[in-house]
A and B are shown apart, each in its own frame.
Chain A
Amino acid sequence: MADDRLLFDYLLRLGDSPLVLAQRLGEWVGKGPIVEEDMALTNVGLDLIGQARLWLSYAGEVEARFAPAPRDEDQLAFLRDAGAFRNLLIVEQPNGNFADTIARQFLFDAWHLLALRGLSASRDSRIAEIAAKAAKEASYHVERSGDWIVRLGDGTEESHAKMQAALDGLWMYTGEMFAPDTTELALIDAGIACDLRLLAAPWRAHVDAWFAAATLKVPGEVWMQGGGGRGGKQGIHTEHLGRLLAEMQFLQRAYPGAQW
């Protein structure tokens, strides 16, 4: 049986990425380019919050097996500091313009769907069930963000330039998605975690195909942020996460235990 501490850490990784990305998407509420897109971005955000809840409540149950004071999903979401978050660096990057948001979504969605499909075969049945449910939502997210990549990439000169700039800027955060650390390696060996190394080729094929359709250039080799076991999954974040959490956690910090 895998170490519960490792499993807990891994579940935080699975839950924190959708949670943080959902918070970012929520920042678009009332500011979307059109009301239809405003709702669509929020729908994706709500899907991700639902997924985060499932992962984090399972994390809380696992924590109860070894910690004297285990936390529930809300405590994990609203009372942890930035250093204890385990999300990927890409999801905490600011919304920027609409192209930046779409680029972040596209690169993440493509990875997310592959990861969830991998996790559907996890030996941990709870993980497999959550992943199978989430994969249905993610497959729509993939379709939506790919659609926008083509519309903006193959759109006007200005939209093409903005889309390319957005992708070039975020590319350095994609390396972390495919680099397992010791926690993940141990859980991959146990048949619980998804082997991230196997996702790199299909992810790249997906990205290449959509970039080609969108007349966008795949960025060249760049130095990848968060590699070498020092990235978001290990709690080493960019400056942006702290500010995001300050807003997201404000209520519970200012009024501990508040409910409505």
Chain B
Amino acid sequence: MSNEWPLWEIFIRSQHGLAHKHVGSLHASDAAMAIKNARDVYTRRNEGVSIWAVRSADIVASSPGDKEALFEPAASKVYRHPTFFPMPDEVKHL
């Protein structure tokens, strides 16, 4: 058994942000300690109003080796961006 505490990924929502953003990772023995440590490590300069902590082991990631199959097909499909439709001038905030 490893003596290392598990790794946690920390997400912070800033004063003005709507979404939590990944800010880094840290070690903690459980969820409560992860939140406390995140507060002490990542919000010292008034960065946030909310913290999420996720066990790093629980994050499922795409494999870098699959990059071509996953993402390259989208590169040639510019028509998926909604920039081809002429919009009337009266429509604001698009």
Binding site for B on A (CB under 8 A): 34, 36-37, 39-40, 43, 144, 147, 151
Question: Which residues of A lie under 8 Å from residue B29 when comparing CB positions?
Answer: 151
A144 lies within 8 A of B36 (CB)? yes
Q: Which residue of B lies closest to A43 (CB)?
A: B40
A50 to chain B, nearest CB (A): 13
Quick check: is B5 within 8 A (CB to CB) of the other chain?
yes
Are A39 and B36 CB-contacts (below 8 A) given A34-B5, A34-B27? Answer: no
A36 and B27 contacting across the interface, CB-CB below 8 Å: yes
Digitize B10-35: 1 where CB-to-A-CB distance is under 8 Å, 0 elsewhere. 00000000000000001111001100
A39 to B37 Cα, complex, angstroms: 9
User: In angstroms, how far is the closest chain A Cβ from the Cβ of B65?
Assistant: 32
Which A residues touch B41, using CB under 8 A? 36, 39-40
Contact partner, B26, options A36, A43, A147, A151, Cβ 8 Å: A36
With the chains together, A40 CA to B29 CA distance in Å? 15
The answer to whether B44 and A36 touch across the interface, beta carbons within 8 angstroms, is: no
The minimal Cβ–Cβ distance linking B5 to chain A, given in whole angstroms, is: 7
A-B contact pairs, 21 of them (CB 8 A): A34-B5, A34-B27, A36-B26, A36-B27, A36-B28, A36-B37, A36-B40, A36-B41, A37-B37, A39-B40, A39-B41, A39-B44, A40-B37, A40-B41, A43-B44, A144-B36, A147-B32, A147-B33, A147-B36, A151-B29, A151-B33
How long is the Cα–Cα vector from A40 to B26 in the complex, in angstroms?
Answer: 13
Residue of A nearest to B43 (CB): A43
Determine the distance from Cα of A60 to Cα of B44 in the docked complex, in whole angstroms: 29
Distance, CA A43 to CA B44, complexed state (A) = 8
Q: Tell me, rounded to whole Å, the shortest Cβ–Cβ distance linking A231 to chain B.
A: 32
Enumerate chain B residues within 8 angstroms of A144, measured Cβ to Cβ: 36
Question: Within the complex, what minimum Cβ distance (angstroms) separates A36 from chain B?
Answer: 4
Query: B26 — which chain A residues lie within 8 A by C-beta?
Result: 36
Interface string of B26-59 (1 = CB under 8 A from A): 1111001100110011001000000000000000
Nearest-CB distance from A34 to chain B (Å)?
A: 6
CB-nearest residue of chain B to A155: B29
Find out whether the CB atom of A40 lies under 8 angstroms from the CB atom of B36. Answer: yes
Shortest distance from the beta carbon of A130 to any chain B beta carbon, whole Å? 20
Q: Which residues of A contact B5 (CB under 8 A)?
A: 34
Given contacts A34-B5, A34-B27, contact A40 B32 (CB under 8 A): no
The 6 closest A-B pairs by CB, nearest first: A40-B40, A36-B37, A43-B40, A39-B40, A36-B26, A39-B41
